[in-house]
Amino acid sequence: MHPLIEVPALDRLLRRQTPVVLLDVRWHLAGPPGIESYRKGHLPGAVFVDLDRDVAGPPGAGGRHPLPASGDFEAAMRRAGVSADRLVVVYDDADSTAAARVWWSLRYFGHDRVRVLDGGYRAWTEAGHAVTTDDPKVKPGDFIADPGRLPVLDAEGAAALARAGVLLDARAAERFRGEQEPVDPVAGHIPGARNAPTSGNVGVDGRFLPPSLLRERFAKLGATDALDVGAYCGSGVTAAHEILALNLAGIPAALYVGSWSNWVADSAHPVATGDS
């Protein structure tokens, strides 16, 4: 299944009353809780999913957004109405940063019928479609979590990939270079990683670039389908966005879920700064 869905296509599905589970996963790093945005207005029928609570385990040595326990993720998705036979459409504010983590998580835990609304809530409202503040009536789903359906990296695997393949760091350039680190206790990057900020995957409207441009972008970084590729970020959220962009470009890639927050939890791990 193609990982993206455009606003007109989603509107047609909803008008035809095609069974669709809509998940609103608006989330802001160090910002107001996403539930506040949801309460001010959301797509009709959309259920709010809390990225910190429902899509990640408790923060700790495994990182700020480690994988949740299978049972916890299964229960959260069932509460949201996710079932094996139903299409899931995930959206956030605009650029799919948070939505991509839910897309990746559902696929990792075995639900392949999931798509991200390209352009998110902003694209929906700019197209003139209705929103609501009503809470939907949710029929619990029957989703069964079956983990391991997508490749993941741990710290050792990420270090090896940085040496023998291509490891992309999805954070902003100043964080990669170690010039500033607003969240984690150590600044810098994994030695050998290459910087590919996720902001470069989308246009000013928050929609993903065409696959041809994404392939060109990643090729300049050495990432092609002929090599082993992986991605990390601060805590495994924006890196999932990188994985989605790589998917659109036709490049399979593994996610280092623990990412930088897991890497720096072990003082024995080396840290690089600068552009390389």
Q: Return the active site residues.
A: 233
> Interhelix angle for 97-108 vs 238-248, to 10°?
80
Beta bridge partners of 90: 23, 116
Q: In sequence order, which residues have a C-beta less than 8 Å from that of residue 57 and are 6 or more positions away?
A: 65, 66, 67, 68, 69, 72
Cα 23 to Cα 110: distance, rounded to the nearest angstrom: 17
Cα 81 to Cα 186: distance, rounded to the nearest angstrom: 39
Cα 48 to Cα 156: distance, rounded to the nearest angstrom: 35
